[in-house]
Amino acid sequence: MTAYEEIATVSDPAQAGRRTSLAPAPNKGTSKLKQKEHITALAFISVKYVGLFIFTLLPLLLALLYSFTDYTGADTGTPFFSQLDKLWLGFDNYKALFTSLTYRKPFLNAIKNNLIFLISVPLGIFFGLIVAFLLSQGRKVYGSKIIRMLIYVPVVSSAVAMAIIWQYIFDNEYGIINQVLGVNIPWMTNGGWLKVAIIIKTVWGNLGRTMILCIAGLMAVSKDYYEAAEIDGANRFTQFFKISIPLISPTLFYLLCTGVIGNLQSYVDSEVFANKHSGGQTIVYFIWEYGIRKGLYGLASAASFVLSISIMIITFAQFKISEKWVYSE
């Protein structure tokens, strides 16, 4: 059939209908199989969202509701929602965190400690970047693999175990640091020195993670940039600050964001390392102390949402600032 005949056939309604009737009918078995596949796929996907609702969204909504009540978790024999009118406080829990004589001082002290501990984030990135640069040089560093492994050990070790080990290292009387330096610094009993000890411990604990990510970022930088810089007379120092750091700035930004969030959520240092000393108490410790130990679920829930909102604001600010210094292709 010529092209002209095909056009004529299609343009003729009678012919078109006849040709359509000759087309193979859809296979019902195939359509049922596809329908079953779609249902199976939907079932697998729904597990994720059901889990997200049960284990994340629902607890968040309940905690938000608790923050406006005087709920203590005590078994009164009456369901929580049945006594909601009696327990309702409105914003009183949020006000109490900043105005109450009982809760204001420990809560503001926890906020102050958290802000001081944030110093460990840029320090950790700085030292991790230095170590990564030294271990990622073209010339072979003797024992570099062993050094990497030893530096990374704290990352995969138990946080509680590491806290106990550092307690012995900073012990006022028998600690290694005081013995080696020949000093008698009250690391574990003085609030100021305790903060310094926690910052040192945190930098050391995050050094391995920072090092590995920075090494990966540095090795991904094309050597052509460095060769071109050498031709222009740039030394290693200039190459590091003008080429390496700008090109791995996305990695540094990731470390900054996750470091700040992780630092604001720290708890082990307060409970185990600082042994509940006021100089080491954080916001999460405050939530644990007043929520779990003292049964003030409403107050603790309010503190948790203050922390969550603070983290969101800080993270948003970091993303806005990052537009000016983070490299993007």
pLDDT in tens, 154-213: 999 999 999 999 999 999 988 999 999 889 999 999 999 999 999 999 999 999 999 999
Phi, psi of 266 (to 5 degrees): -70, 145
Tell the residue number behind the tokens 């006022």, with chain if given.
172
Inter-residue contact 124 to 206 (CB < 8 Å): yes
pLDDT band at 28 (very low <50, low <70, confident <90, very high): low
Domain assignment present for 205 = yes
Asked if residue 24 is part of any domain, the answer here is no
Dig out the tokens for 200 from the structure.
């040192």
In a domain, 301, yes or no: yes
- DSSP letter assigned to residue 277: -
Confidence label for 6 from pLDDT (cuts 50, 70 and 90): very low
Contact 172, 184 (CB under 8 A): yes
**In angstroms, rounded to a whole number, what is the distance separating the alpha carbons of residues 165 and 177?**
13
CB atoms within 10 A of CB 30: 9
Q: Which two tokens stand for residue 133?
A: 């640069």
Q: Whole-model pTM?
A: 0.81
Note whether residue 2 is domain-resident: no
End-to-end CA distance of the chain: 54
The predicted pLDDT at position 10 comes to 47
At residue 75, does pLDDT exceed 80? no
In a domain, 45, yes or no: no
Cα separation values, 73 from 70, 77, 103, 296, 298, Å: 9, 11, 19, 8, 9
Judge whether residue 119 has pLDDT over 60: yes
**Residue 67 is assigned to a structural domain of this protein:** no
Please write the tens of the pLDDT for every residue from 91-109.
999 999 999 999 999 999 9
Kindly state the average pLDDT of the residues 96-125: 95
12 to each of 2, 6, 16, 110, 197, how far by Cα in Å? 15, 10, 6, 83, 89
Confidence at 25, pLDDT banded by 50, 70, 90: low
User: Averaged over 108-133, what is the pLDDT?
Assistant: 95
Of 207, 206, 185, 209, the closest CA to residue 197 belongs to: 185
Per the structure, how many domains does the chain have?
A: 1
Whether residue 140 has pLDDT greater than 70: no
The domain spanning residue 238 has which CATH number? 1.10.3720.10
In a domain, 17, yes or no: no
Q: From CA 97, how far away is CA 144, in angstroms rounded?
A: 50
For helices 120-135 and 144-152, the axis angle rounded to 10 degrees is: 160
Nearest-angstrom CA–CA distance, 21 and 235: 78
Q: Which domain holds residue 104?
A: 92-322
In the chain, which ranges are continuous DSSP H helix? Answer: 3-11, 13-21, 28-52, 58-66, 84-87, 92-99, 104-117, 120-135, 144-152, 159-169, 176-181, 191-219, 223-231, 236-239, 245-247, 249-264, 268, 283-288, 297-322
Residue 16: its pLDDT value, please?
A: 47
Listed in sequence order, the residues at least 6 apart from 323 whose beta carbon sits closer than 8 Å to its beta carbon are: none
Q: Please report the pLDDT score of residue 328 as a whole number.
A: 76
